[in-house]
């Protein structure tokens, strides 16, 4: 058997391992094994590729792998669970950049061969440009998303008049460069310009998107990094890149769709509307009554008498580092015979499923984490809904107030529980800057203060 | 390789991806994302050929950089996914945890 056949057979095996790995990710019991299987698929693919006869120098490969592995391993160990969205965005960007370079390198090789013999095939040229365009915009788009998520850059949407037209023109310019280069591959300036413009486009594309919409953006960039890898696969004629890349592309697209639905917005709207800047309208506001504050000691009496409690965490809980305090409260409530579950809104964290990871870190068992659709029909049955650092995702205005900017967004109906406790630092509004009528409901009691401290006081009251 | 053949593989893989991922519960969406992110580092395989071909200096430089960045993606992605998944625990029997 020739090496080529062996390599391709191993690629088939590797693709099978990726597929099995993703399949096992479908359940928390098997997910860890699934990830290992997928990693094994990657490992055999890399090892067998090194057998390729075309590879004659290993020193640069070794250098790249050692450097990359070191950086990757350190980043994976060091990152805090709250910082997961930034890290995923950054990794995404690196994947996109690698695809850009693979496409470019394939072009450089093809051109050097073409000097001697014939012209570069059109198919190679086109696919190279696709991998450069998508890889490039994934890279800089992800870097900007990283900056916004880690708050190195303001998370506010940055908009100006004619923004969409400018972005459209940049895209057209990239395509024009591609065409000009394909017509005359000896003039490399068009290639450089296309690379530069693809990088600029990534920045321009993420600029108008606000911090609150980042879950959608990361999911979309995730998808694009897969598509970029698939495009690079087309460029170098490697099937494994195409298979793996399109699996990731599909996965990212599904997550993007889920996130958009959870915010009741179309992808178009998320990408172009800059949510949260113009929404300072004081329209027909709901009749806002009195806010009823309550102390931890009084809350204790209600919690002590409760039979069931649903905890609704938001990102504010993670900001206050209150996960472990929540878990403590859960333990003490359960010891008191109270049924405790968690209701998780799809956009409760800053990336899809983020809240689940944050709670898992605090040892909250995953089978207590209920999805919004599971918990909403039975919210009336709960004695207490404990809202911690969440705002927009429990806002009843989304159901009741047609003029509200978030009207129609699916929310957790916390207000339906017999008593609602809202743990909140102050009366400031959430990410979207929208008033929340929940705070003024008759069955709502506000626990003002730092979430961690307040939970600590509640736990103390039980002792 | 034939364009049609590659496109065929591409389209079928996308459908397979949709089928596979639709079954993943939202609890696991973050690990799914970082795990699939690691898979997209497969571009490493393409980068290896460029970095090692040693007959075109621009391709070698680009290839080496691509190897480094893709490896960050692969190694970091799998490790961080494993770290997250190790934290997911089921409730013990009997109501206490």
Cα separation of A167 and A429, whole Å? Answer: 32
Give the gap in angstroms from C-alpha B57 to the nearest C-alpha of chain A: 9
Beta bridge partners of B30: none
Tokens 């990726």 belong to: A18
| Whether A371 contacts chain B with CB within 8 A | yes
Question: Residue A62 above 70 pLDDT?
Answer: yes
Q: With an 8 Å Cβ cutoff, are A77 and B83 in contact?
A: yes
| Whether B8 contacts chain A with CB within 8 A | no
Q: With an 8 Å Cβ cutoff, are B90 and A361 in contact?
A: no
User: What is the predicted ipTM?
Assistant: 0.93
The answer to whether A297 touches A428, Cβ cutoff 8 Å, is no
Q: Considering A392, A415, A435, A450, which one is annotated as catalytic?
A: A392
pLDDT band at A115 (very low <50, low <70, confident <90, very high): low
Q: What average pLDDT does the structure give for chain A?
A: 88
Per-residue pLDDT tens over the stretch A340-384? 999 999 888 888 899 999 999 999 999 999 999 999 999 999 999
Cα separation of A303 and A295, whole Å? Answer: 12
| Whether B27 contacts chain A with CB within 8 A | yes
Give the gap in angstroms from C-alpha B34 to the nearest C-alpha of chain A: 6
Cα separation of B52 and A49, whole Å? Answer: 11
pLDDT of A419? 93
Q: With an 8 Å Cβ cutoff, are B55 and A79 in contact?
A: no
Interface test with B, best of A11, A91, A346, A368 (most B CBs within 10 A): A91
Beta bridge partners of A418: none
Question: What chain A residue is nearest to B67 in terms of C-alpha separation?
Answer: A64
Counting residues of chain A whose pLDDT is more than 90, the rounded percentage is 56
CATH architecture of the domain formed by A296-462: 3-Layer(aba) Sandwich (3.40)
- Give the neighbor-by-neighbor strand order of the sheet with A419-424: A369-371, A339-344, A308-313, A384-388, A419-424, A444-448
Tokens 């699996």 belong to: A247
Question: What chain A residue is nearest to B73 in terms of C-alpha separation?
Answer: A91
Per-residue pLDDT tens over the stretch A144-181? 999 988 888 877 778 788 888 888 899 999 999 999 98
Beta bridge partners of A448: A424
* Higher pLDDT pick, A406 / B48: B48
The partner residue sitting opposite A244, judged by closest CB among B22, B32, B39, is B39
| Whether A16 contacts chain B with CB within 8 A | no
Angle separating helix axes A122-149 and A84-116, nearest 10 degrees: 160
CB pairs under 8 A between A and B: 403
The answer to whether A286 touches A222, Cβ cutoff 8 Å, is no
Per-residue pLDDT tens over the stretch A44-55? 999 999 988 778
Residue B55: name the closest of A105, A181, A184 by CA. A105
Q: With an 8 Å Cβ cutoff, are B33 and A57 in contact?
A: no
Backbone angles phi, psi at A387, to 5 degrees: -95, 120
* A363 flagged as catalytic: no
Q: Provide the chain B residues 31-90 that lie in CB contact (below 8 A) with chain A.
A: 31-56, 58-60, 62-90
What's this model's pTM, rounded to 2 decimal places?
A: 0.89
B/e letters for A196-235, b = 16+ CB within 10 Å, e = fewer, are ebbbbbbbbbbbbbbbbbbbbbbbbbbbbbbbbbbbbbbb
Number of residues that this document lists for chain B: 97
Q: With an 8 Å Cβ cutoff, are B30 and A32 in contact?
A: no
3-state secondary structure A90-141: HHHHHHHHHHHHHHHHHHHHHHHHHHHCCCCCHHHHHHHHHHHHHHHHHHHH
Counting residues of chain A whose pLDDT is more than 70, the rounded percentage is 94
- Domain map (residue ranges) of chain A: 1-78, 81-272, 296-462
pLDDT of A133? 94
Per-residue pLDDT tens over the stretch A71-93? 999 999 999 999 999 999 999 99
Q: With an 8 Å Cβ cutoff, are A68 and B92 in contact?
A: no
Cα separation of A208 and A347, whole Å? Answer: 20
Q: What share of chain B is helix, strand, coil (3-state, %, to 5)?
A: 75, 0, 25
Question: What chain A residue is nearest to B23 in terms of C-alpha separation?
Answer: A26
Cα separation of A457 and A295, whole Å? Answer: 9
Sign (positive or negative) of CA dihedral A29, B84, B30, A350: positive
- How large is the average pLDDT for residues A263-278? 70
Number of residues that this document lists for chain A: 463
| Tokens standing for residue A146 | 């990283």
């Amino acid at each position: 058997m020739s090496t080529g056949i062996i390599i391709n057979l191993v690629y088939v095996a590797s693709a099978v391992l990726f597929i099995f790995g993703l399949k096992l990710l479908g359940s928390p019991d098997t997910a860890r094994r699934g990830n290992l299987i997928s990693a094994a698929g990657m490992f055999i693919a890399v090892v067998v590729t090194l057998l390729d006869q075309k590879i004659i120098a290993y020193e640069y490969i070794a250098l790249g792998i050692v450097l990359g592995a070191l950086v990757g391993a350190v980043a994976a160990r060091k990152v805090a669970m709250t910082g997961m969205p930034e890290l995923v965005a950054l990794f995404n960007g690196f994947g996109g950049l690698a695809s850009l370079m693979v496409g470019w390198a394939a072009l450089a090789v093809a051109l050097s061969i073409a000097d001697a013999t014939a012209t570069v095939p059109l198919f190679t040229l086109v696919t190279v440009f696709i991998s450069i365009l998508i890889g490039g915009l994934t890279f800089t788009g992800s870097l900007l998303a990283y900056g916004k998520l880690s708050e190195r850059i303001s998370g506010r949407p940055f908009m100006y008049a004619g923004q969409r037209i400018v972005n459209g023109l940049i895209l057209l310019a990239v395509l024009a460069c591609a065409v000009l280069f394909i017509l005359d591959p000896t003039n490399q300036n068009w290639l450089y310009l296309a690379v530069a413009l693809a990088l600029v486009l990534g920045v321009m594309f993420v600029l108008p998107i606000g911090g609150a919409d980042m879950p959608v953006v990361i999911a979309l960039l995730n998808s694009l990094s897969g598509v970029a890898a698939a495009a690079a696969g087309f460029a170098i004629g490697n099937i494994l890149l195409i298979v793996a890349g399109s699996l990731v592309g599909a996965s990212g697209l599904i997550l993007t769709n889920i996130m958009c639905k959870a915010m009741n917005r179309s992808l178009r709207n998320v990408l172009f509307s800059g949510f949260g800047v113009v929404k300072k309208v004081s329209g027909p506001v709901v009749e806002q009554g009195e806010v009823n504050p309550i102390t931890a000691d009084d809350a204790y009496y209600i919690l002590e008498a409760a039979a069931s409690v649903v905890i609704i965490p938001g990102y504010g809980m993670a900001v206050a580092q209150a996960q472990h305090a929540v878990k403590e409260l859960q333990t003490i409530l359960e010891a008191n015979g109270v049924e405790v579950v968690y209701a998780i809104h799809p956009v409760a964290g800053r990336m899809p499923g983020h809240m689940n990871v944050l709670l898992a870190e605090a040892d909250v068992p995953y089978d207590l984490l209920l999805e919004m659709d599971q918990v909403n029909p039975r919210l009336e049955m709960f004695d207490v809904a404990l809202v911690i650092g969440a705002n927009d995702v429990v806002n009843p205005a989304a159901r009741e107030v047609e003029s509200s900017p978030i009207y129609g967004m699916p929310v957790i109906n916390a207000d339906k529980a017999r008593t609602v406790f809202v743990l909140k630092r102050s009366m400031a509004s959430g990410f979207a800057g929208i008033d929340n009528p929940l705070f003024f409901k008759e069955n709502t009691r506000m626990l003002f203060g730092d979430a961690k401290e307040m939970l600590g006081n509640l736990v103390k009251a039980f002792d | 390789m034939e364009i049609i053949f590659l496109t065929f593989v591409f389209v079928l893989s996308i459908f397979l991806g949709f089928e596979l991922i639709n079954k993943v519960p939202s609890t696991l969406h973050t690990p799914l994302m970082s795990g699939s992110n690691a898979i997209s580092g497969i571009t490493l395989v393409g980068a290896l050929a460029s970095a090692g071909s040693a007959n075109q200096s621009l391709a070698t430089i680009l290839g080496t950089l691509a190897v480094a960045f893709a490896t960050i993606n692969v190694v970091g992605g799998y490790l961080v996914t494993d770290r997250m998944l190790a934290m997911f625990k089921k409730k013990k029997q009997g109501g206490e945890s």
